[in-house]
């Protein structure tokens, strides 16, 4: 071999400049560009390079013509391969990593590509033209997916089961709360289903702060928290959230849906072999977060601590466990057994994840939620909060978009927990920060409600008054200890008709709630009184509901009782449900004495409400 190379190097300028080691490497390596030789084996890089030689190129062309090998003939066949411009080999550099379009040899085209036309058609076309098939294959004839048809079928299902959702054009009026107008400003309606529970969306202090911040800092944050979206407003709001719940730190998100999803997904995916135990009635944001985490999920019966303990006891003690649950379940108004769940978490080495979305601003002397409310006197009197129910909760999530009247969500917990979510959660890292005006307004709302209890007390009194009036009319209110008033209908189509009739005939907006928000057969109207729903609004609502129930023939409480009762409505010998806000906390200690005056419970409550309304208006005026 060495002797042959020595003679060839004297004759060939290329070989004369190339070392034996390089030639040996070329002869033993192949190219992806031309991979088939005359014998059907892979061509070496030396053979490919030789095609550019004036002597060897012609020799290879002759050999290729004899054997019918297009690869040896050159790209276009015959001696044309020699005359065509071919890039010179870069023997002493690394190969290019760029993608290259390469003409495949004829032998390699005999196998049809996936989704190509039948081989018979290609063979016929090739025979007719007398040339090998070249270029891209023709477009496939296979049937394509009908995307629009799929969308239509999914929507048809929603229409058929009466769960299709219609949005009403409701424009809440800040100066006429709780009034709103529809598409036309003269189409006024009373809103009875808003989650702006305390009317903070029109609070003078909040609006003033937002206007000032908007004028000074503009409409948007300018980016994510990592890129120009971190500012004094975010710092102040997070400090306020942490202080509200007496936690070390807090983190603000674009919504509490995102906060729940991002936090559970991050913890569930990072904690090794994590198991998340979830209440069966948890919000969709928590369910989605658990799903995104990839962690094992164990569902326990709603508010059933016995079932929860059974499931905890079945898990290894050294496995990380998260118990995810809510304080106020917004569609039925039930309250989670927070203290009992804390006991189980400590017993079985789990951490607690409490969603206080429908409770922040509404319960507790500072408005921190149900966990604070359970130790009302301790927090109201400035006592030692160590070991309280709220202190025992590991992670609290809340919203800025309901009782606080703004938008956004947050988590509160230990500094390390919050920093972990801040550093790892995509839902926080890659989302544009809330606008400065929004964060400033939310902070003002939190601080206002921490200092003033009048709004939530008045809301609770209005809730009691509405529940009492509906029960007098035999309208089926699902019993619960919270501020939610779910009115049972039990049929999706009828619930939609009731909602439409209230709006069209009585100018009252109450949204129908159906599947998947609630189970099929448990459809309802969800009513949420606010401090602004004074006596005139309440009287109008009760009269309208009574009329709609008569017109549509909807079951009343007595009708459900004849059937044995259903989800708390019409059940025999039910356990009395006591409101979470006690008479003492609402300042109703003297009500029992006043009842002897002959006015009755309703008359006494109305006098209390009138007094609360006056005090609230005075507080709002002073704040402005």
Contacts of 96 (CB under 8 A, 6+ apart): none
Is-cis flag, bond preceding 570, omega within 30? Answer: no
> Any bridge partners for residue 326, and if so which?
355
**Short-list 196, 353, 351, 343, CA closest to 282:** 353
Active-site residue, 535 included:
no
**Short-list 518, 501, 507, CA closest to 554:** 501
Q: Tokens 């009317």 sit at which residue?
A: 199
DSSP H or E segment with residue 297 = strand 296-300
Q: Return phi, psi of residue 350, to 5°.
A: -110, 165
171 is written with which tokens?
């424009």
**Short-list 408, 398, 397, CA closest to 438:** 408
Q: Which listed residue (209, 247, 321, 402) is catalytic?
A: 402
Whole-number Å distance between alpha carbons of 553 and 542: 16
> Any bridge partners for residue 409, and if so which?
253, 399
Contacts of 444 (CB under 8 A, 6+ apart): 205, 206, 209, 210
> How are beta strands 485-488 and 524-527 bridged, if at all?
antiparallel
**Short-list 29, 410, 43, 57, CA closest to 250:** 410
> Any bridge partners for residue 250, and if so which?
412
Q: Report the number of secondary-structure helices (H) and strands (E) in the chain.
A: 27, 14
DSSP state for residue 520 in the 8-state scheme: T
The arrangement of strands across the sheet holding 524-527 comes to: 485-488, 524-527, 512-513
Is-cis flag, bond preceding 329, omega within 30? Answer: no
SS3 string, 262-294, reads: HHHHHHHHHCCCCEEEEECCCCHHHHHHHHHHC
Number of Cβ within a 10 Å radius of residue 56: 17
Instruction: Note every long-range contact of 108-114, with CB atoms under 8 Å and residues 24 or more positions apart, other chains counting.
Output: 108/35, 108/36, 109/133, 113/137
Q: End-to-end CA distance of the chain: give it in Å, rounded.
A: 100
Whole-number Å distance between alpha carbons of 194 and 203: 15
> How are beta strands 485-488 and 188-191 bridged, if at all?
unpaired
Q: 295 with 274: CB under 8 angstroms?
A: yes
Q: 397 with 359: CB under 8 angstroms?
A: no
SS3 string, 66-118, reads: HHCCHHHHCCCCCCHHHHCCCCCCCCCCCCCCCCCCCCCCHHHHHCCCCCCCC
Could you give the residue numbers annotated as active site? 402
């Amino acid at each position: 071999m060495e002797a042959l190379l020595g003679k060839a190097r004297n004759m060939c300028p290329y070989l004369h400049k190339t070392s034996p080691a390089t030639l040996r490497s070329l002869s033993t390596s192949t190219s992806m560009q031309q991979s088939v030789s005359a014998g059907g084996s892979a061509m070496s890089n030396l053979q490919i390079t030789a095609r550019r030689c004036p002597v060897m190129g012609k020799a290879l062309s002759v050999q290729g013509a004899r054997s019918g090998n297009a690869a040896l003939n050159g790209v276009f066949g015959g001696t044309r391969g020699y005359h065509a411009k071919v890039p010179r080999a870069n023997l002493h550099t690394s190969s290019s990593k760029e993608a290259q379009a390469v003409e495949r040899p004829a032998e390699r085209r005999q196998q049809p590509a996936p989704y190509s036309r039948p081989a018979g058609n290609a063979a016929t076309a090739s025979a007719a033209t007398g040339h090998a098939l070249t270029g891209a294959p023709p477009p496939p004839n296979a049937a394509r997916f009908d995307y629009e048809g799929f969308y239509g079928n999914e929507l048809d299902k929603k229409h058929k089961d009466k769960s299709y959702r219609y949005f009403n054009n409701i424009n809440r009026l800040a100066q006429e709360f709780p009034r709103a107008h529809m598409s036309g400003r003269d189409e006024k309606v009373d809103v009875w289903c808003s989650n702006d529970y305390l009317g903070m969306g029109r609070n003078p202090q909040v609006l003033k702060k937002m206007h000032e911040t908007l004028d000074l800092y503009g409409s948007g944050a300018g980016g994510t928290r990592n890129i120009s979206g971190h500012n004094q407003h975010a710092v102040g709001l997070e400090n306020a959230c942490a202080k509200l719940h007496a936690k070390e730190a807090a983190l603000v998100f674009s919504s509490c849906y995102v906060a729940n999803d991002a936090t559970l997904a991050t913890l569930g995916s990072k904690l090794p072999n994590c198991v998340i135990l979830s209440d069966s009635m948890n919000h969709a944001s928590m369910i989605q977060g658990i799903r995104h985490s990839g962690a094992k999920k164990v569902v326990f019966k709603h508010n059933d601590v016995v079932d929860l303990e059974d499931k905890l006891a079945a898990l290894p003690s050294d496995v990380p466990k998260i118990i995810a649950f809510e304080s106020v379940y917004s569609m039925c108004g039930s309250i989670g057994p927070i203290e009992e769940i804390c006991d189980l978490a400590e017993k079985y080495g789990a951490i607690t994840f409490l969603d206080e979305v429908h409770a922040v601003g509404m319960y507790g002397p500072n408005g921190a939620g149900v966990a604070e409310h359970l130790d009302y006197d301790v927090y109201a009197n400035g006592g030692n909060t160590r070991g309280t129910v709220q202190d025992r909760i590991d992670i609290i999530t809340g919203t800025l978009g309901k009782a606080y009247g703004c938008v956004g969500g947050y988590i509160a917990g230990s500094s390390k927990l919050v920093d972990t979510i801040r550093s790892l959660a995509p839902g926080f890292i890659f989302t544009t920060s809330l606008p400065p005006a929004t964060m400033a307004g939310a902070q003002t709302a939190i601080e206002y409600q921490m200092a003033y209890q009048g709004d939530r007390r008045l809301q609770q009194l209005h809730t009691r008054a509405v529940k009492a009036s509906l029960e007098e009319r035999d309208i089926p209110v699902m019993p619960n200890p919270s501020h939610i008033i779910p009115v049972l209908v039990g049929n999706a189509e009828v619930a939609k008709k009731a909602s439409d009739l209230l709006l069209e005939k009585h100018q009252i907006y109450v949204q129908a709630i159906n599947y998947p928000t609630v189970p099929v057969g448990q459809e309802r109207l969800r009513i949420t009184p606010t401090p602004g729903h004074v006596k005139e609004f309440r009287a109008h609502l009760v009269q309208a509901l009574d009329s709609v129930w008569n017109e549509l023939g909807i079951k009343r409480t007595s009708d459900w009782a004849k059937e044995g009762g259903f989800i708390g409505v019409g059940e025999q010998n039910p356990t009395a449900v006591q409101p979470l806000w006690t008479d003492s906390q609402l300042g109703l200690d003297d009500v029992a004495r006043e009842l002897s005056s002959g006015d009755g419970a309703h008359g006494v409550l109305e006098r209390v409400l009138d007094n609360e309304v006056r005090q609230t208006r005075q507080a709002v005026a002073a704040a402005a």
